[in-house]
Amino acid sequence: MRGAILVGIVVMLAVTLVPTIRSLIQQQDETAALREKVAQQQVQVADLERQAALWKNPAYIEQQARERLKFVKVGEKVYTVIGAPPAKEQPQGEQAIVAAPMANDSAPWYGKLWQSVQIADRPAAGATGRTAGDAVPDSGSGAG
């Protein structure tokens, strides 16, 4: 009889404690998941704060305007090649500069126009790839 009473008490304790323990374990799992999510969001916030600090720097804004929007300063000449395969990445701080061949200055205006059409049709002819450090303006006579 004592064994039956003892088994009954153990069953009552199990019925009472199992849902409570299950709830406790579930809450601990949720807490761990929320802590992990908070840690991820803190990393994201730190990254966004770093980006916001970059955008306060005028040099960074100018760099982004040049890269993303193709902005240039007054007096600068920019050439954009449309449909060309993407160029190999240059090391940071060194941009490739390609000097475009020029039309013959002694030709009449319509001759210069025709020469520019011919040069545009084959842009690699007469152009040399240089880095920003050794850029020299092209003063050649152009294609003929």
Say if 138 falls within a structural domain.
yes
Residue 103: half-sphere exposure toward Cβ, Cα within 13 Å: 16
Q: What's the total number of domains in the chain? A: 2
124, with CB counted inside 10 A (0-12, 13-18, 19+), is: exposed
Residue 1 has pLDDT above 50, yes or no: yes
Candidates 96, 98, 99; CA nearest to 133 is: 96
Highest mean pLDDT among 14-18, 39-43, 93-97: 39-43
> Any bridge partners for residue 129, and if so which?
98
Structure tokens at 66: 């040049």
Residues 86 and 134 in one domain: yes
Residue 42, domain extent? 17-78
Q: Kind and range of the H or E element at 107? A: none
Residues 135 and 89 in one domain: yes
Say if 98 falls within a structural domain.
yes
Residues 26 and 40 in one domain: yes
pTM above 0.95, yes or no: no
Residues 87 and 74 in one domain: no
